[in-house]
Amino acid sequence: MSIIDSLLDIDQVTQLTGLPQATLRNWEKRYGFPNPQRSQGGHRLYVIEDVNRIREVVNLCKRGMKPREAIQQVSAAGKISNAAMDYIKTPSQTLSEGLSMILEALYRYDTVAAEEQLSRIGMRLSEADLLEMIYPKLLTQVGNDWERGAINVAQEHFCWGFLRTRLLNYFKPGRVNPHQPKALLATLPGELHEGGLLVLAAFMMLKGWRVYYLGVDLPVEDLLHASATIKPDVVCISSLEAATILRNWTDLERLNRTVVVGGPCLVQLKTQELSRSSGIYFIEGELAAVVDDISLLIQSSAQRLKIGS
């Protein structure tokens, strides 16, 4: 088999479709839909075609159709031959196995093998799905492996260079929608980790946002100057340490913009007594939900300005 299918577990399908696990199991029991494979341990495994069909059913249900009718319609429209279904559902590797193979290739400095594995997964997932599911997992695993000493600094840098280059491929001028919000993204002085921020920037670009990505370790005065010049609708800041945000809190208020803070720093920041009237917000969660929340913040801020005028 020349194309390796990525098999998804039920958690990943829930993440991609927004459908609760209980509903997935209930539909499978009552209607025989979807019809996942089973691992040797009895766990459900889905292919991306299952995800696409589930999404179609969910959309029909949102329009008022009952689940049984929606499933019948999608199933009738999507019938394929037994031979084709066997081809689609031939288990070659799970998604987790595919990710492991990418990292194994990168740890031995083999970009050709890593690119091949990433491309095979990309054949079955959309660009948005890759940003939601693949890149964050790869970045997290590389960081964890480095912290526990499983890889050295050279391997960590090599992996980040590979992943960063591919994330920057999302920065295409043709995707920019002039009617979408402006977002300025950066990290504060001393913060050198940009993985999560770069994934967010790529996702915004994919959605047509006007993204101004200023990278890591940005001097505060330069951030203030850029914000005053660009006049973004939102400034997105990411940090590992809460101390970095607290040290620059007053300067973030000086931006006089809607400021969104994310990253591991939130665990500590949530325990701090901080003024929430400053226009600085903490946002976390799944990538698409984060972007939706930022959009709502921008709309809310614009409405307040309109009322105030």
Backbone angles phi, psi at 185, to 5 degrees: -125, 135
Domain assignment of residue 191, given as a range = 173-308
The answer to whether residue 1 is domain-embedded is: no
User: Which pLDDT score, from 0 to 100, does residue 238 have?
Assistant: 96
pLDDT at 303: 53
What span, in angstroms and rounded, lies between the C-alpha atoms of 123 and 150? 30
Whole-number pLDDT of residue 230: 96
| Position 208 in a domain | yes
pLDDT digits (tens, 9 = 90+) for 214-230: 999 999 999 999 999 99
Domain match, 76 and 188 both: no
Residues 217, 289 share a domain: yes
Domain-embedded: residue 107: yes
Domain end residue (candidates: 116, 151, 168)? 168
* Residue 88 confidence class, pLDDT cut points 50, 70, 90: very low
Give the pLDDT score at 4.
Answer: 34
Rounded Cα distance between 22 and 16, Å, is 15
Cα end-to-end span (Å), the chain: 64
Provide mean pLDDT across the span 269-282.
79
Please give the pLDDT value at position 79: 54
Report the pLDDT averaged over residues 279-308.
78
pLDDT band at 306 (very low <50, low <70, confident <90, very high): very low
pLDDT at 276: 61
pTM over 0.85: no
Residues 212 and 121 in one domain: no
Task: Give the contacts of 4 (CB within 8 A, at least 6 positions apart).
Answer: 92, 93, 98, 117, 120, 121
Domain finish residue from 168, 185, 207: 168
Are 100 and 177 contained in the same domain? no
Whether residues 73 and 51 share a domain: the answer is yes
Q: Which two tokens stand for residue 8?
A: 């998804």
Paired tokens of 9? 């577990």
To 10 degrees, what angle do helices 95-107 and 111-122 make?
160
Q: What's the confidence (pLDDT) of residue 302?
A: 59
Contacts 24+ apart (CB under 8 A), 24-27: 24/54, 27/67, 27/71
Alpha-carbon gap, residue 140 to 151, rounded angstroms: 13
Residue 56 pLDDT class (50, 70, 90 cuts): confident
What is the overall mean pLDDT for the chain?
Answer: 85
Give the domain-ending residue among 55, 88, 121.
88
Same domain? 158 vs 226? no
Number of domains the chain contains: 3
Give the distance from CA 190 to its chain's centroid.
25
Burial of 173 (0-12, 13-18, 19+ CB in 10 A): exposed
Copy the structure tokens of residue 144. Answer: 């964890």
pLDDT of residue 264: 93
Question: Of 87-101, 110-124, 186-200, which has the strongest mean pLDDT?
Answer: 186-200
Q: Which residue has the higher pLDDT, 9 or 276?
A: 9
Q: How far apart are CA 148 and CA 106, in angstroms?
A: 17
